[in-house]
Each structure stands twice: as structure tokens, then as C-alpha cells.
Structure 1
């Protein structure tokens, strides 16, 4: 945010901070969320790259299209375990998986 805009907001009584500060996240919670989102994005990219529809992929993992959509959107009801299993089903290597995790913010 530009300094002049930040000053105007502060002068108007607004508080400026990060998402982590607003949600009072610990560094561990923040890292977990960032890793999960990186895995979700990777899942969607990998599925699209392989030209597999959500419906076809859902059948492949014995799930539903709506569950695949939730995985790709990072829905809180979806576990990292399921996302990782799905990525492995799409053929992601351990090295690629490690890279996705290590390059998350």
C-alpha cells in the first residue's frame, strides 16, 4: 500500500496490518495455510495440464466433482492428506511435491 494512502486511512481511524495480524495467526498456522493453498493450486494446475475434467478425476479417486472443486478451492473441510493423495494420483513426483511445499510463501 502506498504511504499516502496508508496515512489517510490511519488518520481516518483505520488500523493497518497483515492478514496474519488480523486473524492472530501463529507462524505455524500461517505456514500451514500457505502450504495447503500451494498444494491446492498445484492440484488444479496438474489436473488441467493433463486435460482431465473434475468429473473424470473424481471418478479416478472415488470421490465427487464437488469434492474435487473443494480441494482445488482450498476448502477448510478438505485435508492436506487428501490433496496430497490426489496429487500423487495425478502423477506428481516426490521432488515436485517437495518443490510445491518449499516454494509456498
Structure 2
């Protein structure tokens, strides 16, 4: 958020903070959510890198398109175990997965 917008909101009586502040997350909870979101984004990027649709990936995994969509948005009902298996299926190495979890692998920002 830009500085001027923040000041305007604060002048109007709004308290401005982060999602972590709003949800009162512990540092561990914040890190966990960031990891889930990064894994979700990486699944989407790896799928698109292969030129696959969600349906094609679902077929390759023996799953459904809706399950792939849930993985790509980080749905809390989708286990991390399943998400990690999907990344390995998409060709991510154990080393790259480790780099993602340790913060050494950075995802390039994607246009919206």
C-alpha cells in the first residue's frame, strides 16, 4: 500500500496493519501460511511451464481438476503431503523443494 493511501485511511480512523496483525498470527503460523502459498504458486507455475491445463495435470495425477484448483489456491483442506507429491510429479527436485522450504528458492513475481 502506498504511503498516501495509508495516511488517508489512518486519518479516516482506520487502523492499518498487515494480515498477520489482523489475524493475530504467531511467527510460526505466518511462516506456515507463507510456505503453503509459495507451494501453491509453484504448483501453478510448474503446471503452466509444462503447458498443461488443470485437467491434464489432474489426469496425470489420477485426481480431479477441482483438486488441482484447490492445490493452486492453497486451500487448507488440501494436505501439504499431496501438494509436495504434486510438485515432485511436476519435476521439481528434492533439492529445489528444500530450497523452497529454506527460502533459497524465490519465485518470480507473476503478472496478474
Q: Considering the TM-score relative to the shorter chain, is it more than 0.5?
A: yes
Higher-Rg member (1/2): 1
Q: Give unpaired runs (5+ residues) of structure 2.
A: 107-112
The secondary structure found in structure 2 opposite 1:40 is helix
Cα separation, partners in 2 of 1:25 and 1:62, compared to 1, 3 Å: same
Q: Tell me how far 1:57 sits from its aligned partner.
A: 1.3
How many residues are paired up?
Answer: 104
Q: Give unpaired runs (5+ residues) of structure 1.
A: none
Cα separation, partners in 2 of 1:35 and 1:11, compared to 1, 3 Å: same
1:94 alignment counterpart:
94
Cα separation, partners in 2 of 1:13 and 1:98, compared to 1, 3 Å: same
TM-score if structure 1 supplies the norm length?
A: 0.87
CA contact (8 A) 1:36 1:80 kept: yes
Per chain length, whose mean CA-contact separation is higher, i.e. which structure has more relative contact order (CA < 8 Å, sep 6+)? 1
Provide the alpha-carbon RMSD of the alignment. Answer: 1.6
